[in-house]
């Protein structure tokens, strides 16, 4: 077991002044509380260090927010220049226009863009734009899908009232018949369908769209004059450089991005088609620090690097190598273990492990070797992962399976 | 389906019965405290020669040292009634005792879980929270080989507390208390569960989301029916 005295002491301090000590997806109770550190001190590339000085080889990339690696020099240099000029002003900075131009150039269907800080800010705003445009109340989502922290969709249980979800209807991912039934049942009442590009629920293997699923969704939305919102917050810039819809071959009406967009700087964007521009301007959107020139500069730089270095293909190739190799090691030790979902953001899954004991044991053993593998969330590959770091990880993966097999 | 306006009283009655089970009073059918609906406003303990309390009386159980049963049942069967009242007094004493041992932990856990599953089976909000979850949930004390208690739900049946002997296989999730003291504090709702889990005061192994839902239902239940102090 790695040292954790400072981490625990800091957590005790934290718990006195912060509800739960640490909240949300970073809450220790959501992962491996006695195996992962509670607090980080610094990061570089694919490594981060916790407050006890333990170094971790990372496969979570700040839960997807880091695409090019921690503390990326080119992004940090651009950010430093912008920071000297200022961050938030009485007016937006020119960089906001540059970023909107960049996104509308890059994303084929996008005619406009707006910005906020988190994915949730804009998934919630996007469904309001759809409601404004259609003047209808109902929003359809996939069962178990995560779209943020607001009451209409959050995975928690507290602080909600019945009416929060009265107009939210759900269907099973990939089940077009169920979606069609909802359209029939709520004829002329559906404002939007909001979906992630593939189904990446927590505590469950990822599920890719079935053949014709997206074509079917698009057709149903168009026939019913409802807005198709793509929540590309988690997958954006990890499946296709111009948006995940390009990879799966469909066109949404609105799409929301965040996470990888700013390489660790808080920014989210929503882009949309021209016919929604007027509705978009009628739905109030603001935040005191949302016109954050520093985060926008980080995003512009991050996108430029992604284009220049073909980062999406790179993380997909690296992910494929890592996933295939990990599966091969697992097989050698007699485990039926699959990396589900896209290889750049794989969700690890042992067959017949619906109760998660095996993956928890695997990730605990791996954590003792300094590998940061989350047992309940998809992992992320960053472009800072290179041959050396992947080979080091695979060597530790082999040791992990070996130890696990010996415990049987 | 239970009338929702009677749910609190019914939950208290079920919890009393669970306490009676844990303290070993239900090993024979004689003088059982298993509850039944007696009429529209009272609950009977035991099928034969029942001891009957009004719903309103049961709702006062946390506030007064003694609640008065229906006089008719006392007159019909004074000895049996006395035995049952004696058991109730013993249960109350154990619940309020200051001892910190495994028996006390098991008692508090059983009473709290029985109340929680009664709400999970009947209260619309708790039913919505627990949704279609099913399977077995085991509660352990670290270093003890067998669970303190197990909850279980199978398909169309409601949630119920099961004896360890009657079950087999791996549970869906395990909650393991580090010590008796931690377990008792947890049952008394005196721990912040997220903080305790982070500090290793208890562990959750297996399918954690179900435990999160049960924990939230337990919180909702305890807001309605606090443990006696």
Between chains, do A29 and B197 touch, taking CB under 8 Å as contact?
Answer: yes
Q: Is residue B77 located within the same domain as residue B114?
A: no
Q: Quick one: DSSP state of residue A89?
A: -
What is the CATH code of the structural domain delimited by A73-308? 3.40.640.10
Asked if B67 and B61 count as a contact pair (C-beta separation under 8 A), the reply is yes
Choose one of B44, B61, B96: the last residue of a domain: B96
pLDDT tens figures, A83-116: 999 999 999 999 999 999 999 999 999 999 999 9
Asked if A64 and A345 count as a contact pair (C-beta separation under 8 A), the reply is yes
DSSP letters, A27-81, are: -GGGS-TTTS-S-EEEEEBTEEEETTS-EEEESSTTTTT-SS-BT-HHHHHHHHH
CA atoms within 13 A on the CB side of A182: 23
Chain B interface residues (partner A, CB cutoff 8 A): 129, 135, 170-173, 192-195, 197-200, 203-209, 212-213, 216
Q: Is residue B64 located within the same domain as residue B151?
A: no
pLDDT at B167 > cutoff 70: no
pLDDT tens figures, B13-28: 999 999 999 999 988 7
pLDDT tens figures, A207-225: 999 999 999 999 999 999 9
What is the band of B1 on the pLDDT scale with cuts at 50, 70, 90?
Answer: confident
**Architecture of the domain delimited by A5-60+310-407:** Alpha-Beta Complex (3.90)
pLDDT at B164: 66
pLDDT at B168: 72
Q: Is residue B84 located within the same domain as residue B129?
A: no
pLDDT tens figures, A157-169: 999 999 999 999 9
Query: Nearest C-alpha of chain B: how many angstroms from A368?
Result: 16
Q: Is residue B22 located within the same domain as residue B132?
A: no
pLDDT tens figures, A234-245: 999 999 999 999
Between chains, do B199 and A11 touch, taking CB under 8 Å as contact?
Answer: yes
Q: Is residue B218 located within the same domain as residue B203?
A: yes
Would you list the domain boundaries of chain A?
Answer: 5-60+310-407, 73-308
Question: What is the residue range of B74's domain?
Answer: 4-96
Q: Is residue B36 located within the same domain as residue B110?
A: no
Range with the poorest average pLDDT among A196-200, A240-244, A330-334, B64-68 = B64-68
pLDDT tens figures, B30-73: 889 999 999 999 999 998 888 999 999 999 987 777 788 888 88
- Count of domains forming chain B: 2
pLDDT at B165: 65
pLDDT at B76: 85
Q: Rounded mean pLDDT of B88-109?
A: 93
Closest Cα partner for B144 from B169, B182, B176?
Answer: B176
pLDDT at B28: 77
Q: Using CA coordinates, name the residue in chain A closest to B201.
A: A34
pLDDT tens figures, A342-368: 999 999 999 999 999 999 999 999 999
The CA-atom distances, in angstroms, between B42 and each of B10, B39, B60 are 9, 6, 13
């Amino acid at each position: 077991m790695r040292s954790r005295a400072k981490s625990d002491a800091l957590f005790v301090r934290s718990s006195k002044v912060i509800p739960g000590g640490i909240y949300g997806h970073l809450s220790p109770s959501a992962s491996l509380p006695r195996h992962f550190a509670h607090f980080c001190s610094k990061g570089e590339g694919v490594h981060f260090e916790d407050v006890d000085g333990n170094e971790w080889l990372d496969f979570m990339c700040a839960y997807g927010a880091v695409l090019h690696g921690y503390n990326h020099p080119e992004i940090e240099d651009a950010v430093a220049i912008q920071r000297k000029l200022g961050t938030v002003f009485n007016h937006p900075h020119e960089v906001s226009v540059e970023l909107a131009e960049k996104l509308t150039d890059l994303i084929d269907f996008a005619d406009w863009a707006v910005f906020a800080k988190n994915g949730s800010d804009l998934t919630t705003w996007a469904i309001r734009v759809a409601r404004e445009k259609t003047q209808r109340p109902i929003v359809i989502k996939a069962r178990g899908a995560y779209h943020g922290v607001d009451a209409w969709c959050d995975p928690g249980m507290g602080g909600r009232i019945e009416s929060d979800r009265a107009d939210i209807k759900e269907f099973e991912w990939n089940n077009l018949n169920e979606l069609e039934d909802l359209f029939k049942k709520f004829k002329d009442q559906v404002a939007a369908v909001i979906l992630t590009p593939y189904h990446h629920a927590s505590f469950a293997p990822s599920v890719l769209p079935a053949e014709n699923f997206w074509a079917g969704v698009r057709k149903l939305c168009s026939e019913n004059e409802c807005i198709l919102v793509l929540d590309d917050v988690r997958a954006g810039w990890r499946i296709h450089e111009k948006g995940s819809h390009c990879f799966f071959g469909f066109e949404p009406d609105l799409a929301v991005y965040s996470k990888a967009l700013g390489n660790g700087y808080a920014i989210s964007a929503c882009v949309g088609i021209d016919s929604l521009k007027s509705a978009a301007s009628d739905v109030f959107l603001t935040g005191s620090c949302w016109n954050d020139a520093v985060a926008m500069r980080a995003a512009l730089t991050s996108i430029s690097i992604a284009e220049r270095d073909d980062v999406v293909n790179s993380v997909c190739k690296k992910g494929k190598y890592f996933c295939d190799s990990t599966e091969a090691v697992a097989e050698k030790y007699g485990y039926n273990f699959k990396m589900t979902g896209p290889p750049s953001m794989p969700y690890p899954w042992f067959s017949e492990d619906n109760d998660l004991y095996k993956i928890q044991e695997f990730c605990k053993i791996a954590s003792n070797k300094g590998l940061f593998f989350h047992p309940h969330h998809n992992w992320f590959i960053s472009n800072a992962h290179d041959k050396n770091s992947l080979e080091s990880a695979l060597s530790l993966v082999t040791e992990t399976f070996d130890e696990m097999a010996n415990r049987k | 389906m239970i009338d929702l306006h009677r749910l609190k009283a019914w939950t208290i009655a079920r919890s009393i019965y669970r306490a009676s089970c844990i303290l070993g009073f239900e090993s024979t059918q004689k003088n059982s405290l298993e509850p039944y609906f007696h009429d529209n406003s009272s609950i009977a303990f035991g099928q034969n020669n029942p001891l009957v309390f009004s719903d309103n009386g049961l709702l006062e159980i946390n506030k007064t040292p003694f609640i008065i049963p229906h006089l008719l049942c006392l007159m019909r069967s004074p000895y049996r009634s006395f035995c049952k009242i004696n058991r109730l007094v013993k249960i109350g004493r154990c619940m309020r005792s200051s001892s910190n041992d495994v028996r006390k932990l098991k008692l508090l856990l059983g009473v709290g879980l029985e109340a929680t599953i009664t709400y999970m089976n009947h209260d619309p909000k708790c039913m919505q929270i627990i949704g279609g979850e099913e399977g077995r949930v085991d509660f352990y004390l670290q270093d003890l080989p067998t669970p303190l208690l197990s909850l279980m739900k199978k398909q169309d049946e409601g949630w119920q507390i099961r004896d360890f002997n009657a079950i087999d296989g791996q549970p869906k999730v395990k909650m393991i208390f580090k010590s008796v003291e931690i377990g008792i504090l947890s049952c008394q709702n005196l721990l912040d569960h997220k903080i305790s889990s982070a500090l290793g005061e208890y562990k959750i192994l297996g399918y954690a989301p179900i435990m999160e839902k049960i924990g939230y239902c337990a919180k909702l239940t305890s807001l309605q029916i606090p443990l006696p102090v």
